[in-house]
Chain A
Amino acid sequence: MITDAQPIITTRFGYDDSHTLERFLATGGYDGLRAALRKAPQQVADDVKAASLLGRGGAGFPAGVKWGFPPANVWPRYLVVNGDESEPGTYKDRMLMERDPHQLIEGCLIACYAVGLSQAFLYVRGEMALAQERIANALNEAYAAGYVGKNILGTDYSVDIVLHWGAGAYIVGEETGLIESLEGNRGMPRLKPPYFPAVLGLYNKPTIVNNVETLANLPFIARNGGDAFAKLGAETSKGMRMFAVSGHVNKPGVYEVEFGVTTFRDLIEAPIYCGGVRGGKKLKAFIPGGASAPWFYEEHLDLPLEKATVDKAGSMLGSGAIVVMDEDTDIVRACHRIVRFFAKESCGKCTPCREGTSWLEKILQRIIDGYGRPEDVDLLLDICDNISPGINWPPRQTTICPLGPSAVSPIASAVGRFRHEFEAYIGAPVETTVQMNGLAYKAPEPASA
C-alpha cells in the first residue's frame, strides 16, 4: 500500500546546501536535541522504546531495547556509529551522511544523552571521501556552535564525537568487527554470545552500536515523541524506512517509504517509485534485503516491507537493499558475482568461511568458464551445508558471524529455482542430494484454483 506518510529523515535532501549548519538550523535542526535535553535521560530512552525503532543496519533489533542492555554501574559506555555501509545493493547511509550530517550528529547526541554514553565514535566507511568531509565539516561547525563537546547547550551534558575512517573491509560493518577495527585491530568479528557489545564492546566496555539510519530517526522521535513515530508503519515495523532499489528497474533510486505497509510491488512498480521492470521485461527474481538475503520471486511481490512477514517468508529486509533481476539475467553469473563478494570479504577467521566461500567461488567460476561437472552443483550445496547446516532460514552457522552463511543464500536461491541454468552451463543434467530447508529456496506450491 502506498501511503501519503511524509518522509522523516530525507526531508532536507532537496536543498543543495542540506549539509550545512545554516540550512539545518533553518529547518528545525537541533530542536530534537533541545527537546531531548528538556527531558530526563530515561524519559528519552523510554520514548525511543515506545517508538519501536528497529535497527536499520540489517539485523533489525529494536534500538530502545538494545539501549537497555548495558549493565548498571559499568562505566564508561561508548557509542559507535556504524557508517560502514558496504553490503552490495545498499545505498542510504552514505546519502544520510553526505546530505544531512547534522541530523546524524543530532541523533548521536540524543543517544549518548539517553544512555549515558560518554564518548561517541562515528565510523565512516573509508571509501566515502565526501561523507567524511561533510561530517568533519559539520562536526567542526557543531563544536564551534556549542552543540557538541563540553557543556552542550550550556548544560552539564558533555560528549565528544570522534570521526573515524575505515579503510576498506566489508566485514567491519559487522558490529564486533567494527569494534575490533576501531580498536586498531584487524576487523575480525568476536564470538557472540556469550557477550554482546552492549555488555562487552569497545575496550571491553558496554557499547551501543547503531546504524546511521537508525540514529538519523532520533531527532524526529525526540521532537514528536515515540508515539508519533509508532503511529507510522505496521506490526513490528514502525516509522519510515529508506530502501534502495537497484538493478533492472526503470527508475532505480532510494525511497523513504512507510515501513511495514508499502509492498515490494509498490516500490518496484509504482510510477512514483521505480516504475516497473526495465524495458517492460518480466521479473525473474529480486533480492529483498541486501546480498546476504535469500532471493524472492514474483509470488513475493505483494508482501509488505514488514520485518516479521519477510522473515517468515524465508528471507529478510536486511539493509533495505532491493536488487531486481529481469528475465534475461544470467543467474549463474549473478550468483557467482554475489558469492565472489563474500569470498573476497571474508575476514579469514573461521575455517568454513575462509576456505568455503573461496571454494564456492572457484567452483562457480569454473562452471562459468565451461569446466563444470555434473557433480559440482551438489558439491556446491554440500559446501553450503557445511557452512550453514541444513541450508535453512534463519540460517544455522558453523562460523562466528553471518558472513560465511551469507554466501549460501545466493547459491541456494539460484540452484533452488534455476537449476536448468546450471545444467545449461555444464551441458548435462544435474542431480542433487543435499537438502535445502529455507522456505524461499523452494519452488512455490503449485497454485491451487
Chain B
Amino acid sequence: MARFTAENEELAREIIGRYPVLKSATIPLCHLAQEQDGHLTEEAMEHIAELLGLAPAEVLGTASFYEMFKREPVGKYVVNVCTSISCFLNGGDELLEHAEERLGTKAGGTSDDGLFTIEGYECIAACTEAPCLQVNYRYFHKISNDEFDRLIEDLRAGKRTDIPPHGTLALVRQHIDAERAAGVSPPDHGEQPVWLRDTPALQDQSG
C-alpha cells in the first residue's frame, strides 16, 4: 500500500474540496497518507501530487519541512520526550535518558521489536506539567520513570487501545455536510459578504 486506497482517495477529495486553492490540501493529505501507511511514502507523495496538480518535488518540498512527516518507517509508537527549556529544568533530559535505556535505543532510533521510536522533542506545550512526553501525539504529563515503564508495558501488551498506531492523529474528523456548507471562497472572485451592512443579521430579539 502506498497510493491512497479508493476509500482514502474519496476522503482526500473531500478534504481538497474545503480549500479554495488545491495546494492548501498538501499537509492534510500527507497526514492522511501517513495515517494509511504509518509513514509518508514516495508513492503517496506522487499520488498527492497528481491529486493536487503539483510536481512530486513540490509535495516533498513541503512535506520535508515538517517534522511530523516520516519518510522512513518508524515504530508503531513514536515517543516524543520533551527536552525543551521547562522540561529541561524539571527532569526532561533524565526522562529521555531513562526512555533510551528502557527501550534500548538512542533518541532518533527504533526499539529492536520495531514498536517504539524515541525522539528528544522540542516544547510540546505542556510546560507546567514537566517532565512530559507524547506517544503518537497524545500527552502524558508529569511522568515518572516508573510511570513510563508501566506505559511501555501497557503499550506492548496492547492495553492502550486509546492510542492509535503512528500516523493516525485525530480519531474524529471534520465533516462538512454539503447541505450545511457555506462554500469555499476562491481568491480570484469574491464579493462583499451579504451580511456586511449597516443592519444586524439577526432581527428577532428572542433569538
Contacts and interface: CB of A to CB of B under 8 A. Distances in A.
- The reply, when asked whether chain A contacts chain B directly with Cβ atoms under 8 A, is yes
Interface of A: 34, 37-42, 73-78, 85-91, 93-94, 113, 116-119, 125-130, 132-133, 135-137, 139-140, 143-144, 146, 148-150, 152-160, 162-170, 181-188, 202-205, 244-248, 252-254, 287, 291, 321, 323, 325, 329, 333-334, 337-338, 341, 344-345, 347
B125 A164 contact: no
A270 B72 CA distance: 49
11 contacts: A41-B196, A88-B127, A89-B127, A118-B190, A150-B181, A155-B202, A159-B182, A184-B62, A203-B187, A246-B90, A254-B128
Contact of B200 (A38, A204, A344): A38
B201 A157 contact: yes
B107 interface: no
Interface string B180-207: 1111111100111111111111100101
A125 B122 CA distance: 13
B86 interface: yes
B113 interface: no
Contacts of B26: 184-185
Given A91-B126, A127-B134, A246-B130, A165 B200 contact: no
Contact of A34 (B52, B62, B185, B207): B207
Given A129-B136, A155-B202, A40 B27 contact: no
User: For this complex, into which size category does the number of interface residues on chain B fall?
Assistant: 35 or more
A40 B194 CA distance: 12
A128 B125 contact: yes
B176 A149 contact: yes
B123 A88 contact: yes
Contact of A245 (B19, B128, B183): B128
A322 B110 CA distance: 34
Contact of B65 (A136, A187, A246, A291): A187
Contact of B193 (A116, A184, A254): A116
Contacts of A38: 200, 202, 205, 207
Nearest to B68: A168
Nearest to B180: A149
Nearest to A95: B125
Interface string B155-189: 00000000000000111111111011111111100
B31 A167 contact: yes
